[in-house]
Amino acid sequence: MRAQRTYRRNRAVRALFCAVFAVLLWPATAPAQDESARDRGILQAFLEDNLSGAGRTVRIEGFEGALSGRATIDELTIADADGVWLTLRDAVLDWNRGALLSGRLEVAELSAAELLIPRAPRTEPAPPSPTAGGGFALPELPVAINVEELALDRVELGAALFGQAAVVALEGNAALSGGEGEAELRLTRLDGPEGLLELTGGYANETRNLALSLLVREGPDGIAATLMDLPGKPSLDLRIAGEDPIDDFRAEIGLATDGEERLAGTVELVTTQDDAVQEGDIPAPTRRISADLSGDIAPVFAPQYRAFFGPEIALRVDAVRQPDGRRLLEALELSARAIRLSGSGAIAADGWPERLDLTGQVADPDGGDVQVPLGEDGLTLGQADLRLAYDRASGDRWQLRAEARDAVQSDTRIGLLQLDAGGRLAPPEGGGAGAFGGTLRLSAEGLALPDPALEQAVGDAITGQMGFDWAEGAPFSITGLRLAGADYGLTGDALLRLPEAGLDLLADVDLRLDAQNLARFGALAGVPLGGQAGLRIRGDAAPVAGEADLAFDGTTRDLALGQPRIDPLLQGDGRLRMRVRRDTEGTEIEGLEIATAHARIAANARLGAETGQFDVTAALTDTARIQPGLSGPSRLRAEGRGTGGGTDWEVTAEASLPGDATLSWQGRIADLDTAAQLAGQAEMEIGSLSPYTALAGRPLGGALSATADIDAALDTLSGTIGLQASSRDLTLGHPYADLLLRGEGDLQTGLRRDRAGRISVEDLQLTTPALTLEADGEMTDTDQRVTASLRLADGGIFAPELSGPIQIGGRAMRGSGDWRLGVTGTAAGGATLAVSGDVAPDFSRAALAMTGRAPLGLANERLRPRAISGIAAYDLQLDGPLALSSLSGRISTAGARLTLPELNLALEGIDTQVSLASGRAQITAGAAVSSGGRLDVTGGLGLSAPFPADLRVVAQEVGLREARLYETSASGEITVTGPLTGGARIAGLLELGPAELRVPASSGVGYAGLPGLRHVNEPAAVRQVRQWAGIVEEPGNGVGAGGGAAYPVDLTIRAPSRIFVRGRGLDAELGGQLRLLGTTAALVPQGRFELVRGRLDILGQRLTLDEGVLQLQGSFDAFIRFSATTQTDDVTITIAIEGPASAPELSLTSAPELPEDEVLSQLLFGRDLTEISPLQAVQLANALAVLSGRSGLGMGGRLRESLALDDLDIGTDADGNVEARAGKYLSENIYSDVVVNGEGETDINLNLELSPSVTVRGRLGSDGDTGLGIYYERDY
């Protein structure tokens, strides 16, 4: 860069002096003219035309006095392609025209007031002269030249020239006469730090003596220190002086900074001339240059480099140019503290080396690292060695070895770098071509690079090798190229050609790149790569001209790009093929193919300067690989033609997707470099939406088609869209929506957005057999408006009360403040809706009034399988945030009905009054129960979390029954107090009326579910019905799924008596009390119902129960146990019924232990099983049927039910006489039974229960036998 700046600077100085002298000396040779005005025009045009040239334009203004003794120019400018780079103002030439007659050019003054050079001119390097140089001599001119005064008062130099701007003054003089010349030049800086340049020189052709003295002196921060980038920008003093014959000239050189000498020595130029071979010959001279310089230049460099130079550096050079053109480097020696470099060499006249010998080493004498002044940040080395050797006299072999250890520059580190090269160098002989070739080996270890991504890609070690060969007139050949890292490598061959005319490098390549682990290149590529890849590249290229013809053929395995939608397509083995051509007409991609087992992409493209075209096809074997839930193949095809330099494209695209779906686009994409206009038509046709169910996360069905006409500018997001869509039996997995969208549907609308951002929805119309929706709207930054109307053909799909048409319409408007709403609606059955008021733009608050009547059936979707019917009237106000706590007003119902199928009952005639105020609802409600009795609810409920409640539920003889299991009634009061989100306490007391608990006739069931049964492609309607029936296993609804909040429970259930348990021959009465504690998630039952009286009948055998218990054990299917014991002649028999009330089990035990059928035979007939008669066997089978539950209540049970008795029994007394017993509760605590025996005698028994532990019993017989007693009983 510095050499380039110096070159441009020298060209600028030369151009400056040539232009000035040419302009000012021209009048001396111009022909005389008579008219000054005419002289000025011709001379100015002539000078401008002849001084201007290729890349240089000269303009002169105010040229006067061309034919007088004093000529002036107001302004002269010189410009190149980048503009004016030199301006000269107020130039003066004061000269003696008469002296020309005597052969002298005498100039008294050559000056200018101002010279501006802001930058160096833009020039091209001049080619070398084809002729050989001769000896130095001053020109022999026909006139003597004497310039007494040369003065430029002000010269402004731009910062682009020397790194800083400067203002200087130039003065001097010059004389040339008779082959002798002298000159003095003084340049003084007028601004900034001190600056002085003095040049004095003289030469005489006769004596060939040269005298030269150059002094450059600058203060700190001067131009020279800036150009050399010296640390601290010190003051500088440079002196060059010598006075000797030109053929044996010796110059003393000295350089000092800050007053201290840094470098000193001599440079000698010696020229010798051989004698002529024959008269008239002038043989070429032999020139020798010798330099011997030394000093302490370390302080001139940055402090970190001073250890490299040490206290002294020495340079000795001895070079010769011989008459035959050979160049000899006889000696080269460079030494400093940490560097040694020595060598010699010879270059033949044809430019081919004859001998090369170079040895160098960089090493710290103390064994440490050394910093070398290379690059902006310097280079740190542990040690470096270099050896280059070649000697034509010993053969044609050459050798190069280089090694560097612990090299560090910036953040780059190489532990060990080795370069080993060698081969053959054969110069041309006998008219043949010269050749150069060999092998290069490279290895680098311990690599650490500044870019972490690049370091990961390259690794910590790399090796390389290649063979190369070149001959004159032949291309440069690279063979056996191998560059390898840990798990990647580049191999191949290449031919490089450099045509004689021009610099266009031509390359023929055959390369292969293999990567076993693409992940290492992920960070460098900016993509999380993965997998393996191999790529072969063949063809030719001209990098400078930008032309190429390359074929790519590659393979991949489990390629990954970090894209979840693309990576699954690239799994497994893949293939990549394409051919790329690039020339002056454009770029062509031919036969691009990317294929795996899951996808195939093919493409061709041609991109030119003005036109282009492409076609692409892609096929997926299974779309589920990129979009889970969407199964089936997919295809895409697109083609386009471009004009306007690739900014305008006509594009046609079509895709086929699962579900008999197609997507297409046909239109124009224009002005891609500016507005990016999009105009065309997009179409969509989906024959079945079912395959998209999993993708949408909800059941879909039906068919859908749409067409959109688009005309838009993407840069401003403005334009229009005309949308038309139709559907057939569209389903969205929601019962109401599916009913509304059933049949043929149609949607039409227009969307518009202008450049100002105004968005319009024009004439939106959605129609199906069940609904009609019309809407339009407009929105800007300051104004929004929406108007819509909806008509439903039959609102009965929502609730029976809404059977008939429903009409809803409204308008929403907004200026700079809130939205203002106005919505009204009507429906059959007197249902109405009216909403008006304001809503904040962010929907954070509202002030709305809402009145009307609504069918309660609208809530059935959330209440399933429960159902409610009736009408609710409401008059509400919402003022504040959109939350229940902001509501106030009243809600009421009359005659509503709520069906509770899981409880097998319904609430009828529901009358409700709800008052909302201050974030709380006050409730008063009452209803009759379909099974009998009544429920009333009163209390309050908070309308915001945690929804604190204070509710009271009163039950009045509410009937409770479960077919074939139990029947009773309950009265009492239950309270719910506390937060309903969790923690509300449920407490109260329930009194049970007469209860009938039936032991099922059989524990078997007539149907059962099939575990693991899975419904495939279940229609939405079928699933909805199963959900309503409660037979859908949803995640988390199994046993133990305690997902809801837990509520404390303290509930007492009391029934002192009249709990009858009957069935399977069992007839028992129980009484007692239960208390439910714990929480709704984990109930803890306490207490139980125990036996009051009872018996067990088995084929005429009546056993009195001696134990009877009914209790809850964590399940609402009660646990029962009843047992009776009797004695036969030799056996004690115990019969027990035990287990869940829904499926108890019978057990027969005896002492001594006998089989169950033997026990039963002993019980019924008092004999062994082998001794019973056939009739007794039938009776035994009947008894087993009764005990197993297959005989039902039996005839006695049915007779008791028909007589409305609580107890009915026919049996025998202790004497074997027949007797009949009938019992019934006369009131809650009075029980009476009547016993009549076969003799006609009658007994009446009466039990009066005064308290749970005190009972009064009385007896009255027909024989006059009476009794009265008071009994105290207590359980322990």
Q: Does residue 55 sit in helix, strand or coil?
A: coil
> What are the phi and psi torsion angles at 801 (to 5°)?
-65, -15
Residue corresponding to tokens 């249902």? 831
**Predicted pLDDT at 909:** 93
Q: What is the mean pLDDT of the chain?
A: 83
Point out which residues pair with 960 in neighbouring strands. 968
**Predicted pLDDT at 1100:** 62
Q: Please name the residues in contact with 1004: beta carbons below 8 A apart, sequence gap of 6 or more.
A: none
Instruction: Round to whole Å and give the CA distance between 246 and 241.
Output: 13
**Predicted pLDDT at 1242:** 78
Question: Which tokens hold the place of 252?
Answer: 């003393």
**Predicted pLDDT at 1148:** 84
Query: Quick check: 40 pLDDT over 50?
Result: no
Q: How confident is the model at residue 896 (pLDDT cuts 50, 70, 90)?
A: very high
Taking the CA atoms of residue 965, residue 967, residue 971 and residue 977 in that order, the dihedral angle to the nearest 10 degrees is 20
Q: What is the pLDDT of residues 994-1009, one digit of tens each?
A: 888 887 655 444 444 5
Task: Give the residue ranges of DSSP H helices in 715-801.
Answer: 735-741
Tell me how far apart the terminal alpha carbons of the chain are, to the nearest angstrom: 113
Give the number of other CB atoms < 10 A from CB of residue 1274: 7
Mean pLDDT of 1017-1027: 63
pTM: 0.58
Query: Quick check: 151 pLDDT over 60?
Result: yes
Q: How confident is the model at residue 27 (pLDDT cuts 50, 70, 90)?
A: very low
Tell me the CB-side half-sphere exposure of residue 615, using CA atoms within 13 A. 2
Integer angstrom CA distances of residue 323 from 134, 317, 351, 423:
11, 20, 14, 31
Q: What is the pLDDT of residues 1214-1273, one digit of tens each?
A: 565 667 778 877 776 778 887 877 676 778 788 887 777 778 788 877 776 777 778 776
Q: Does residue 653 sit in helix, strand or coil?
A: strand
**Predicted pLDDT at 21:** 43
Of 441, 439, 457, nearest in space to 449 by CA = 457
- 1254-1261 β-sheet, strand order: 1207-1212, 1218-1225, 1230-1237, 1242-1251, 1254-1261, 1266-1272
Instruction: Round to whole Å and give the CA distance between 715 and 218.
Output: 59
∠ Cα 1000 1003 1005 (to 5°): 110
Burial class (CB in 10 A: 0-12, 13-18, 19+), 864: middle
DSSP track, 869-901: ESEEEEEEEEEESSSGGGEEEEEEEEEEEEEEG
Q: What is the pLDDT of residues 1150-1192, one digit of tens each?
A: 888 888 778 777 777 777 767 777 666 666 666 666 565 555 5
**Predicted pLDDT at 609:** 80
Instruction: Round to whole Å and give the CA distance between 784 and 818.
Output: 10
Of 1121, 1111, 1115, nearest in space to 1072 by CA = 1111
Q: What is the pLDDT of residues 727-747, one digit of tens each?
A: 999 998 888 888 889 999 999
What one-character DSSP code corresponds to residue 56? B
What one-character DSSP code corresponds to residue 671? -
**Predicted pLDDT at 10:** 45
- CB of 759 within 8 A of CB of 752? yes
Instruction: Round to whole Å and give the CA distance between 296 and 961.
Output: 117
Task: Give the residue ranges of DSSP H helices in 683-734.
Answer: 693-696
Residue corresponding to tokens 């050749």? 435
Q: How confident is the model at residue 703 (pLDDT cuts 50, 70, 90)?
A: very high
Query: Quick check: 477 pLDDT over 50?
Result: yes
Handedness of CA 929, 933, 935, 936 (dihedral sign): positive
Handedness of CA 1189, 1191, 1193, 1194 (dihedral sign): negative
**Predicted pLDDT at 2:** 41
Query: Quick check: 219 pLDDT over 60?
Result: yes
Point out which residues pair with 243 in neighbouring strands. 211
User: Among 511-520, 774-783, 1103-1112, 1240-1249, where is mean pLDDT lowest?
Assistant: 1240-1249
Handedness of CA 441, 447, 449, 452 (dihedral sign): positive
Q: What is the pLDDT of residues 398-449, one digit of tens each?
A: 999 999 999 998 889 999 999 999 999 988 887 778 899 999 999 999 999 8
Q: What is the pLDDT of residues 533-563, one digit of tens each?
A: 999 999 998 877 778 899 999 999 998 888 8
Q: What is the pLDDT of residues 342-368, one digit of tens each?
A: 999 999 988 899 999 999 999 999 989
User: Among 50-54, 122-126, 1231-1235, where is mean pLDDT lowest?
Assistant: 122-126
Mean pLDDT of 849-875: 87
> Looking at per-residue confidence, does 1105 or 15 come out higher?
1105
Instruction: Round to whole Å and give the CA distance between 340 and 1089.
Output: 114
Mean pLDDT of 781-787: 88
Q: How confident is the model at residue 1207 (pLDDT cuts 50, 70, 90)?
A: confident
**Predicted pLDDT at 1041:** 40
